[in-house]
């Protein structure tokens, strides 16, 4: 990596030049550098609104970058080891959808794990591509889904040689990695593209002793959430490509769904954060890893909790583990993860990333401090002391294997009707049901509603999980195919 070039931040530099020009704005946005909305300016600050500007020649255009945004994307590509990097301002959701739509047309197959983020299945609804689901491995003790077994992927590839691509989650929300290099080599052997949802793996590119990155493993495309562990603003992301993926065609696909009014707040945050990671990432993520190890050791000393890590590695469905992830199993305390999640926020003013049926995740990254870790550990100790109980009767399984009856696009657009949750067993779902976060569907369009799934939905509601995806905001009714 050329450290001299990585010291540049072309978009930031262009915005600073623009501010110095004192240009009179007769364009959008209408707040005119904040003058037209003082309440907004007072809340966000004049410096923020002074760079909330429109695309123009000196600042380039995100839809067709040829100047400073192009330079910033080239620097990002170099920093991440990609042939090209696209700045995304519709979140990693847009990046995942662009990946799928770049390689799959209507009716074409894509092999993917079923525990994908909603964005991947939404991409199938938009494109008409047909999923070949590979059920992930399961850890029954923790109740969590794992990565894909190489043998299961091989079987799916052999049985579907006409598939256009394989999509891999790497890492999962919990920090679990599949054997990405072997899966990539296998897919390429059969002429398939490899797409990686790397939303939670930005730091892999800059830390030491991290799991392999998508680009290093030889993947064709990767969606990277810079805002998650890379320090940029929420909704800013990168789409990385390699192996001769057509830059122009991928840009056209991106422009089908991405806004034509790209926010320079988001664009500049990608540029600034890339520079920070390129220059300081090794030091930053060494500190994050050390904090995570310290937190795990302290939490596991409390008793009842299990902060898991690399000891789970089995060489296949858990090929590697992201040791910056602070994933904690809670069921031995007789507490669902969502209950611990809510208690931390409501009684201790600590907001963690998510809680599900049996686990919580505290997301550690570049802005965390040891004193905050100590506050979390202390709160978890108090929760154990005050609320621990009997785990008898608690659900433990986070992933239920689906019965896929119809392709997502077919089911989503099919004629449907609303039925009560209790009367839906055996019907084919026409919408999503998911806990958010993490946004992995319990039900997706085209899947059969079973008694086990209904039990899970009721239990998740009782425990306080935030269920989304349904037309009925209370999730008392489901849309089912007629």
For 384-405, write each residue's pLDDT tens digit: 999 999 998 888 777 888 999 9
Tokens of 128: 């008409």
Collect all residues with Cβ–Cβ distance below 8 Å to 362 and sequence separation of at least 6.
Answer: 295, 326, 328, 352, 353, 376
Collect all residues with Cβ–Cβ distance below 8 Å to 361 and sequence separation of at least 6.
Answer: 173, 174, 325, 326, 327, 328, 352, 353, 354, 355
SS3 sequence of the chain: CCHHHHCCCHHHHHHHHHHHHCCCCCCCCCCCCCCCCHHHHHHHCHHHHCCCCCCEHHHECCCCCCCHHHHHHHHHHHHHCCCEEEEECCHHHHHHHHHHHHHCCCCCEEEEECCCCHHHHHHHHHHCCEEEEECCCEECCCCEECCCCHHHHHHHHHHCCCCCEEEEECCCCCCEECCHHHHHHHHHHCCCEEEEECCCCHHHHCCCCCCCCHHHHCCCEEEECHHHHCCCCCCCEEEEECCCCCHHHHHHHHHHHCCCCCCHHHHHHHHHHHHHHHHHHHHHHHHHHHHHHHHHHHHHHHCCCEEECHHHCCCCCCCEECCCEEEEECHHHCCCHHHHHHHHHHHHCCCCCEECCCEEEEECCCCCCHHHHHHHHHHHHHHHHHHCCCCCCCCCCCCCCCCECCCHHHHHHCCEEEEEHHHCCCCEECCCEEECCCCCEEECCCEECCHHHHHHHHHHHHHCCCEECCCCCCCCEEEEEC
Give the model's confidence band at 2: pLDDT under 50 very low, under 70 low, under 90 confident, else very high. low
Q: pLDDT tens digit string along 218-244?
A: 999 999 999 999 999 999 999 999 989
What average pLDDT does range 366-382 have in this prediction?
A: 97
Q: Nearest Cα to 371, choosing from 303, 295, 283, 284? A: 295
- CA distance linking residue 313 with residue 341, whole number of Å: 26
Chain mean position to CA 435: 14
Which of the residue ranges 220-224, 289-293, 299-303, 400-404 would you say has the lowest mean pLDDT?
Answer: 400-404
Q: Which fold would CATH assign to domain 282-387?
A: 3.90.1150
Entry pTM: 0.95
Q: Please tell me the CATH superfamily of domain 408-481, with its number.
A: Molybdopterin biosynthesis moea protein, domain 2 (3.90.105.10)
What average pLDDT does range 91-102 have in this prediction?
A: 97
Q: Residue 165 phi/psi, 5° resolution?
A: -160, 165
Collect all residues with Cβ–Cβ distance below 8 Å to 181 and sequence separation of at least 6.
Answer: 212, 217, 218
Q: pLDDT tens digit string along 237-282?
A: 999 999 899 999 999 999 999 999 999 999 999 999 999 999 999 9
Other C-beta atoms within 10 Å of 128: how many? Answer: 17
Model confidence at 97: pLDDT above 80: yes
What average pLDDT does range 50-74 have in this prediction?
A: 96
Q: Which burial class, exposed, middle or buried, applies to 150 when counting CB atoms under 10 A from its CB (0-12, 13-18, 19+)? A: middle
Collect all residues with Cβ–Cβ distance below 8 Å to 36 and sequence separation of at least 6.
Answer: 30
In this structure, the strands spanning 221-224 and 193-197 are parallel
Cis peptide before 171 (omega within 30 of 0): yes
How high is the pLDDT of residue 69?
A: 98
All structural domains of the chain with their residue ranges: 282-387, 408-481
Q: Nearest Cα to 302, choosing from 342, 333, 281, 338? A: 333
Model confidence at 182: pLDDT above 60: yes
Q: pLDDT tens digit string along 312-361?
A: 999 999 999 999 999 999 999 999 999 999 999 999 999 999 999 999 99
What average pLDDT does range 63-81 have in this prediction?
A: 97
Are 165 and 111 within 8 A, CB to CB?
yes
Mean pLDDT (the chain) is 96
- CA distance linking residue 87 with residue 71, whole number of Å: 11
Rounded to 5°, angle at Cα 94 from 92 and 97 = 110
Q: Residue 138 phi/psi, 5° resolution?
A: -130, 140
- CA distance linking residue 247 with residue 118, whole number of Å: 26
How high is the pLDDT of residue 1?
A: 55
How high is the pLDDT of residue 359?
A: 95
Model confidence at 437: pLDDT above 90: no
Model confidence at 3: pLDDT above 70: no
How high is the pLDDT of residue 91?
A: 95
Are 348 and 379 within 8 A, CB to CB?
yes
Other C-beta atoms within 10 Å of 164: how many? Answer: 18
The partner residues of 70 in beta bridges, in order of sequence, read: none
End-to-end CA gap in the chain: 57
- CA distance linking residue 298 with residue 373, whole number of Å: 9
**Residue recorded with tokens 């600050």:** 45
């Amino acid at each position: 990596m050329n450290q001299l070039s990585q010291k540049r931040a072309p978009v930031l530099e262009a915005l600073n030049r623009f501010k110095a020009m004192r240009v009179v704005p007769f364009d959008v946005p209408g707040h005119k550098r904040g003058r037209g909305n003082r309440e907004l300016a007072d809340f966000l600050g004049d410096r923020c609104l002074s760079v909330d500007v429109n695309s123009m020649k000196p600042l380039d255009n995100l839809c067709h970058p040829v100047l400073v945004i192009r330079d910033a994307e080239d620097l990002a590509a170099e920093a991440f080891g990609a042939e090209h990097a696209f700045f995304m301002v519709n979140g990693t959701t847009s990046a995942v959808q662009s990946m799928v739509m770049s390689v799959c047309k209507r009716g074409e197959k894509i092999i993917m794990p079923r525990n994908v983020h909603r964005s991947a299945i939404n991409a199938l609804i938009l494109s008409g591509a047909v999923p070949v689901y590979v059920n992930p491995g399961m850890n029954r003790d923790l109740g969590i889904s794992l990565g894909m077994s190489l043998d299961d992927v091989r079987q799916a590839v052999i049985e579907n040689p006409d598939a256009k691509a394989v999509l891999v989650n790497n890492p999962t929300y919990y920090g679990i990695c599949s054997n990405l290099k072997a899966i990539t080599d296998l897919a390429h052997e059969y002429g398939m593209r490899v797409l990686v949802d790397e939303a939670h793996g930005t730091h892999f590119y800059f830390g030491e002793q991290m799991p392999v990155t998508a680009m290093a493993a030889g993947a064709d495309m990767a969606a990277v959430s810079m805002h998650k562990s890379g320090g940029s603003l929420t909704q800013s992301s990168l789409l990385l490509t390699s192996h001769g993926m057509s830059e122009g065609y991928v840009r056209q696909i991106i422009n089908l769904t991405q806004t034509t009014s790209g926010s320079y707040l988001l664009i500049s945050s990608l540029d600034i954060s890339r520079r920070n990671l390129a220059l300081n990432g090794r030091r930053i993520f060494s500190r994050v890893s050390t904090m995570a190890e310290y937190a795990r050791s302290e939490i596991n000393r409390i008793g009842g909790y299990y902060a898991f890590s690399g000891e789970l590695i089995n060489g296949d469905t858990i090929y590697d583990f992201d040791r910056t992830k602070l994933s904690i199993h809670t069921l031995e305390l007789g507490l669902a993860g969502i209950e611990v999640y809510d208690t931390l926020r409501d009684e201790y003013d600590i907001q963690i990333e998510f809680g599900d049926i049996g686990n919580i995740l505290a997301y550690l990254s570049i802005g965390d401090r040891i004193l905050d870790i100590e506050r979390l550990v202390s709160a978890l100790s108090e929760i154990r002391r005050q609320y621990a109980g009997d785990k008898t009767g608690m659900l433990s399984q986070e992933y239920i294997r689906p019965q896929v009856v119809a392709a997502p696009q077919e089911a989503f657009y099919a004629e449907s009707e609303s039925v009560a949750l209790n009367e839906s067993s055996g019907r084919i779902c026409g919408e999503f049901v998911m806990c958010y976060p993490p946004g992995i569907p319990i039900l997706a369009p085209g899947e059969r509603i079973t008694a086990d799934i209904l039990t899970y939905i009721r239990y998740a509601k009782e425990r306080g999980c935030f269920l989304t995806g349904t037309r009925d905001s209370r999730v008392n009714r489901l849309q089912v195919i007629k």
